[in-house]
Amino acid sequence: MDSIGFNNWIKWWYIDIKECSNGPWILLFDNCGGHEPIVSMPRLRIEILPTSKTARYQPLDQSMISQAKIRYRSLYYAESATMLKRDVPAIIRSKKKVEEAGED
């Protein structure tokens, strides 16, 4: 999410929550680059958690984030291996061309 989408979400959330409660409210966010509040709303305080503190302040997210990282890494490595297998002949051909050009 970029900062524009983030701020649009805050505006939408603020309109919705005002109908249910008088506030005040506080929103805690991790320090993702897109979580840069531009908007200012009455009775709403936005706090950004310090770097590497998400797991401490949001312990339930820790296992979800860990599982997502494990899944992402396995998909990344599998795709990298597939691409490498597919492109090895091209790499070898390129290397031979460079070596042949150097022999002239």
pLDDT in tens, 65-91: 778 788 888 888 888 777 777 766 666
Judged by average pLDDT, the poorest of 7-21, 37-51, 83-97 is 83-97
pLDDT value at 13 more than 70: yes
Q: How far is CA 89 from CA 48, 71, 77, 102, in A?
A: 49, 29, 20, 20
Q: Are residues 17 and 65 in the same domain?
A: no
> Residue 19: is it exposed, middle or buried by C-beta count within 10 angstroms (0-12/13-18/19+)?
exposed
Domain that holds residue 4: 1-57
Q: Are residues 1 and 52 in the same domain?
A: yes
Q: Are residues 49 and 87 in the same domain?
A: no
pLDDT value at 11 more than 80: yes
| pLDDT at site 49 | 78
Number of domains in the chain: 2
pLDDT value at 58 more than 70: no
Q: Are residues 52 and 80 in the same domain?
A: no
Q: Are residues 49 and 72 in the same domain?
A: no
Q: Are residues 21 and 51 in the same domain?
A: yes
| pLDDT at site 89 | 67
